[in-house]
Structure 1
Amino acid sequence: MNLARLGQLIRHTVLVIAFASGLADEVVYADQTWTIASDHPADTVAGRGVESFATALARQTGGALTGRIESRDMAAATDLVAAVLGDSVQVADVFAGTLASFDPIFELPTLPFMVNSVEESGRLACLAGPAYQRALSRAGLHLLFISPWPPTGLWTRQPVAAIGDIANLRVRTYDKSSAAVMGPLGAHATTLPIRDVEWQLHVGGIDAVLSSGDGAVGRSLQADLSNFSAIYYAYPVSFVVMSRARYDVLPEKTRRELDEVAMNARRAQWRSLPARIQANYAEMQRAGVVVNSTFDAELNMRLHKAGEARVREWLSRGSLGDAGIIKAFQNREAPAAQDSCPLDLIEVGGTIRG
């Protein structure tokens, strides 16, 4: 028997004994350090979200649980999920669109041109929250909180104002959905994780990037791409998750503390988003990036037609429940009373687009 297997057996035995004797709170879950991972840089909304979560976790539990932040250079989001399920990582921030292989519901936050403000982004997250939780649970994950991203725009070397400016661009997209939208506009779309973008720009593999350009990511794009088209493609989200099995065996007191930390982190992330968007735009302008939000009628029409086609395609693969979420969103319905969405979350942004 190898040492790793022996260690697992010892830990399992201690866990069983501790629970049987009623000492789980004091013995098993005292002074644990959890690895909290993200595949985005520290100075992004995702990186800052997990950092503040880790700080609050230690404070709320009196140091019984602490978080060690790691930036994981995973080949795919599924690798990060596997790390959580395998317990080499205890908590992870995972970009929603990269989970599409698990369930079509994870494509919802990046459906194009459906969300037009921070308030609408928060409302959609509230309406879809229970569906996200169920889908993540089927994958063996527990949803701690939903973390928002600034709206997605298009970074290019030359200004984009008309449809001809997009034709033949080699565009980095962040999921299959965005690739399917950019292709019909004449662009050559390539789906890449953010860590590969800077290198591909330098070697000439791409010459445009679909991204919010938040924080450190935006700074990495400024040297090569001096134009940002604020097309408001989508307001994406990430999911901060942990293993459902690990969550389920936590003592009740620890679960309550963890749930409170997660709820507060969610509120803080959404409340800070409008200011974060404005700070990103100010940073772009200081760096000499031209921010453009005015486009000709044909480009607007083509973008939104491509977006509508993408939404129809998604609905054809989704469930009746998925369609119901979009209907409720479009009808401005409130989340069901039994759903644990913080209703103040959907009011903090007002009608701010960014």
Structure 2
Amino acid sequence: MRFLKTGLVLAAFALSPAAFALKKWDLASAFVTSNLHVANLAEFAADVERGTQGQLRITLHANSSLFKGSEIKRAVQGGQVQAGEILMTAYENESAVLGVDGVPFLATSYADARKLYQVQKPVLQAYLEKQGIVLLYCVPWPASGIYSKRAVDSIADMRGIKWRAYSPATTRMGELMQAQPVTVQPAELSQALITGVVEAFMTSTQTGVDSRAYEQVKYFYDLQAGLPKNAVFVNAKAFRSLSVEQQQAVMKAAEAAEDRGWQLSNEWNEASKRTLREKGMTVSEPSPTLRADVQRMGQQLLQDWQKKAGPDAAGIVTQYQQLRASDSQAVRK
């Protein structure tokens, strides 16, 4: 009879709400709620909740409200927050694997950015796994261009200008153009423009809209210099605490978020350019001189990146260039 009672108690517990306890994750992002990446994160969180039948709820903390962009990866790694989103190029000093898509003119179209990601992803996954982090998905920003308070016909026109730096690559660009690099986080950019701390910078059309750059900056040069990616990831212990079914639901939602995010990035790129024009900015193609100047800087930055890249990271560019060449040959045939 004692064993029967014990069995009934265990059965009752198995059917009780405690057996299906709600799990909660916090997800930190440095970007504003109107941003395409944050909009995509919100859909990802909703998909996860639906996919787990409400057993996993993700609370999104945007606009550096929980941690600054420079703090998010360490916070996830250390378990201070379960999940996070970062601009990978901002962490290039930690590893060249994180900074490859910040090299100007390495991948300038969505098709080429996909090829670069294809060879970068397994190396990135392995790197993060060693740090106790599980990669969920990556999405590119719209293509980068140069914003400036004054007209720019060549890099010589940038000499001495207060240049926003948010990654090793943009800091190095500022040095090469003899500008004054100033480190400014995304959430601080709007105020930095208002106070004159920043006069020029290279970033996406989306960031220009987010920061209301059109209120302080006159010119945008559509260089399409690259499509740096954001990475979304989760603390490995938090992920492994989920049931197998819940893990599968999270990864399914992540796959959908990645596909949706790449499409959104392309769509929002064109929409953001229209917004910049409507708000009074001069949106134009760069002069041949400016394009050639920035391309030369891109070659210098690639050489800098290759010098500090280990074998795994260096292999990313080699494989990417081989993949591009192979696809080009296939098209010609």
Deviation of 1:295 after TM superposition, in Å, equals: 0.9
Deviation of 1:236 after TM superposition, in Å, equals: 0.7
* 1:249-269 Cα shifts (integer Å, max 9, x gaps): 321111111111111110111
* 1:3-25 Cα shifts (integer Å, max 9, x gaps): xxxxxxxxxxxxxxx9xxx9699
The TM-score normalised by the length of structure 1 is 0.82
Deviation of 1:217 after TM superposition, in Å, equals: 4.5
2:196 pairs, out of 173, 181, 204, with: 204
After the TM superposition, which residues 274-293 of structure 1 pair with which residues of structure 2 at under 5 Å, given as runs? 274-293=266-285
Pair 1:245–1:33, CA change in 2 (3 A): closer
* Corresponding residue SS for 1:144: strand
Pair 1:29–1:92, CA change in 2 (3 A): farther
* Corresponding residue SS for 1:42: coil
Name the structure 2 match of 1:89.
Answer: 81
* 1:48-92 Cα shifts (integer Å, max 9, x gaps): 121111111111111111221112346754521233234442221
- How many Å separate the matches in 1 of 2:325 and 2:45? 31
Name the structure 1 match of 2:164.
Answer: 172
C-alpha contact 1:127 1:334 (8 A) present in aligned 2: no
After the TM superposition, which residues 338-349 of structure 1 pair with which residues of structure 2 at under 5 Å, given as runs? none
Name the structure 2 match of 1:328.
Answer: 319
* Unaligned segments of structure 1, at least 5 residues: 1-17, 336-345, 347-354
2:108 pairs, out of 110, 116, 120, with: 116
- How many Å separate the matches in 1 of 2:120 and 2:167? 19
Aligned residues: 315
Q: Greater CA radius of gyration, 1 or 2?
A: 2
* Unaligned segments of structure 2, at least 5 residues: 1-9, 328-333
Pair 1:164–1:25, CA change in 2 (3 A): farther
* Matched letter for residue 39 of structure 1: A
The TM-score normalised by the length of structure 2 is 0.87
C-alpha contact 1:38 1:46 (8 A) present in aligned 2: no
Deviation of 1:99 after TM superposition, in Å, equals: 2.1
Pair 1:74–1:154, CA change in 2 (3 A): farther
Deviation of 1:276 after TM superposition, in Å, equals: 1.1
Name the structure 2 match of 1:42.
Answer: 33
C-alpha contact 2:136 2:251 (8 A) present in aligned 1: yes
- How many Å separate the matches in 2 of 1:321 and 1:294? 35
* Corresponding residue SS for 1:214: helix
Percent of residue pairs bearing the same amino acid type: 19
Residue 312 (structure 1) aligned with residue 289 (structure 2): no
Deviation of 1:180 after TM superposition, in Å, equals: 0.5
C-alpha contact 2:205 2:273 (8 A) present in aligned 1: no
* Corresponding residue SS for 2:43: helix
C-alpha contact 2:220 2:282 (8 A) present in aligned 1: yes
Name the structure 1 match of 2:136.
Answer: 144
C-alpha contact 2:69 2:185 (8 A) present in aligned 1: no
Residue 125 (structure 1) aligned with residue 129 (structure 2): no
Name the structure 2 match of 1:224.
Answer: 216
* Matched letter for residue 166 of structure 1: M
Pair 1:322–1:140, CA change in 2 (3 A): same
Name the structure 1 match of 2:330.
Answer: none
Give the RMSD, CA atoms, in angstroms.
2.6
Name the structure 2 match of 1:4.
Answer: none
